Amino acid sequence: MYKKGLYKVVSNVRLSAKTMQMVLEGDTQYITRSGQFVNVAVEGKFLRRPISVCDYDENTITLLYDVVGEGTRAMSQMEVGTMLDLLTGLGNGFTEDEPTQHPVLLGGGIGCAPLYNLAKKLIARGVEPVVVLGFNSDSDVVAEDMFKELGIATYVATVDGSYGTKGFVTDVIREYDLQGDYFYACGPMPMLRAVCGGLEWSGEVSLDERMACGFGVCMCCSIETKSGVKRICKEGPVFRKEDLIWK
Ligand SMILES: Cc1cc2nc3c(=O)[nH]c(=O)nc-3n(C[C@H](O)[C@H](O)[C@H](O)COP(=O)(O)OP(=O)(O)OC[C@H]3O[C@@H](n4cnc5c(N)ncnc54)[C@H](O)[C@@H]3O)c2cc1C
Ligand code: FES
């Protein structure tokens, strides 16, 4: 179930040249699982902007977002005290109670965001995940400290080799011979394709797609899966690897 509400910006800080972290205060009761997203109304824009919930508690929501266009640029300029119109409780989220003992969390770029709350939930359940983050270059690296502060093994890959392992998240798995039994992944499509095709473990991925309504009405985010047509915003954004068709 989703809900529309007003949220107060309590902090909005830059983490890197392109990534910002925004903390909002308001009603979080409709956010029930890691991997869900909010849809942000930006003044002057017809379509809301979907952003994953990076973290949440009883009355705050943390978002990590890349400034890529007008909507996210407007968000980056919002001052503390600004009221934001959000839809919360959107999407299905990750399977937090998957019976995995050795989960590996794979985040590509800003796809690291929804994995943070998932890592906290897994740790609270007594399971210690390993985190692998992939970025283009050292100047793009964000959230590494956040994951390390949770006390879990955190690896970083950069495409240009300027920080951590040179290459992709899959190269880290090979280099360190990481032994998982399940993966949770979020990132750009080529990364998700490589992860689903390259790892023998079962797992699930959060898909990123242009959206309109964000709550299942317009059908613009539909994809074909092995179990029929699904809406990324409603039945997703998280899908089992086994359910996806890669064309
Ligand atoms: C379920 C979901 C969760 C998301 N979570 C996050 C998040 O946690 N943090 C974050 O930074 N972004 C996230 N995104 C992407 C985010 O919604 C877009 O970056 C944002 O809407 C761009 O708005 P804009 O007005 O700044 O850019 P626009 O002017 O709309 O677009 C600028 C550029 O970004 C590209 N773009 C826009 N939307 C997307 C998209 N969905 N995927 C890929 N490229 C896009 C456009 O093609 C264009 O090149 C998520 C998207 C989805 C569907
Ligand atoms: S964005 Fe409208 S149905 Fe998914």
pLDDT at site 183: 98
pLDDT(171) > 90:
yes
Ligand 2 center from residue 221 Cα (angstroms) = 5
User: What domain range includes position 114?
Assistant: 103-209
Task: Examine the pLDDT at 208 and tell me if it is beyond 90.
Answer: no
Please tell me whether residues 53 and 129 are part of one structural domain.
no
CATH number of 57's domain: 2.40.30.10
Please check whether residue 221 lies inside any domain of the structure. Answer: no
Position 242 in a domain: no
Q: Does the pLDDT at position 230 exceed 90?
A: yes
CATH number (domain holding residue 201): 3.40.50.80
pLDDT above 90: residue 247? no
Is 64 in the same domain as 114? no
**Pocket, ligand 1, Cβ cutoff 6 A:** 37, 49-52, 64-66, 68-72, 110, 113, 208-211, 237
- How confident is the model at residue 125, as a pLDDT? 95
pLDDT tens digit string along 112-169?
A: 999 999 999 999 999 999 999 999 999 999 999 999 999 999 999 999 999 999 999 9
* Count: domains in the chain: 2
Is residue 132 within 8 A of residue 102, CB to CB? The reply is no
Closest ligand (CA of 22): 1
Mutate which of 49, 207, 230, 234 for ligand 2? The one with the most ligand atoms within 8 Å of its CB, which is 234
The Å distance, Cα 119 to ligand 2 centre, comes to: 27
Whether residue 246 is contained in a domain is answered as no
Residues 118 and 44 reside in one and the same domain: no
Model confidence, pTM: 0.96
Based on the domain organization, do 176 and 130 belong to the same domain? yes
The whole-angstrom separation of Cα 106 and Cα 122 is 14
Do 77 and 138 reside in the same domain of the chain? no
pLDDT of residue 198: 94
How distant, in Å, are the alpha carbons of 47, 102, 144, 166, 186 from that of 134? Answer: 29, 20, 10, 10, 10
Return the percentage of the chain with pLDDT > 90, whole number: 98
Instruction: Identify whether 225 is part of a domain.
Output: no
Q: What is the pLDDT of residues 43-96, one digit of tens each?
A: 999 999 999 999 999 999 999 999 999 999 999 999 999 999 999 999 999 999
Q: CB burial class (10 A; 0-12, 13-18, 19+) of residue 210?
A: exposed
pLDDT at residue 165 in the model: 98
| Contact between residue 221 and residue 235 where contact means Cβ atoms under 8 Å apart | no
| Residue ending a domain, choose from 41, 68, 90 | 90
- Tell me, yes or no, whether 82 and 17 share the same domain: yes
My answer on whether 116 and 175 are in the same domain is yes
- Co-location of 85 and 116 in the same domain: no
Q: How far is the CA of 94 from the centre of ligand 1 (A)?
A: 20
Q: What is the pLDDT of residue 1?
A: 87
Same domain, 107 and 189: yes
- Which residues on neighbouring strands pair with residue 104, listed in sequence order? 130, 183
User: Does residue 209 carry a pLDDT above 90?
Assistant: no
Q: What's the 43 CA to ligand 2 centre distance in angstroms? A: 20
Whether 232 shows a pLDDT value over 90: the answer reads: yes
- Res 22: pLDDT: 98
Answer yes or no: is 142 within a domain: yes
Query: How big is the chain, counted in residues?
Result: 247
